[in-house]
Amino acid sequence: MDLSWMAWTSATAIFFIVIVTLIAGMALWERLAPGGGPRRGILRLNTHRGDRLFITLLGSAFIHLAWLGVTDLSLWIALAISAIYGALVFRFV
């Protein structure tokens, strides 16, 4: 299969590996500790672990896109911001 049309760099591969690992980790967490009952957070929505992971992934994508559009600084800074954002989402949402 010819995938030369897509820029498969090591960063791209790591990105997809991390997402697959997060989803597998959430599945394992649910298997080991089922339930994870709904929680009402700052958004006043009933969210489960998977919902918070989705919100984190979506927000991180927007953080990275905005970072690429606004600045030429390293994406490692955007990654750090996304990690902090993810921790806040899992704590307060």
Domain that holds residue 65: 10-92
Q: Is residue 75 part of a domain?
A: yes
Q: How far apart are CA 30 and CA 50, in angstroms?
A: 9
What is the reported pLDDT for 55?
93
Q: Which residues of the chain have pLDDT under 50?
A: none
The strand ranges marked E within 1-93 are: 39-40, 46-47
**How many domains does the chain fold into?**
1
Q: Is residue 3 part of a domain?
A: no
Q: How far apart are CA 19 and CA 31, in angstroms?
A: 18
From residue 60, alpha-carbon distances to 1, 21, 24, 78 in Å are 31, 16, 18, 8
Q: Is residue 38 part of a domain?
A: yes
What is the reported pLDDT for 75?
84
What is the reported pLDDT for 3?
63
Q: Is residue 4 part of a domain?
A: no
What is the reported pLDDT for 60?
92
Q: Is residue 77 part of a domain?
A: yes
Q: What is the pTM of this model?
A: 0.77
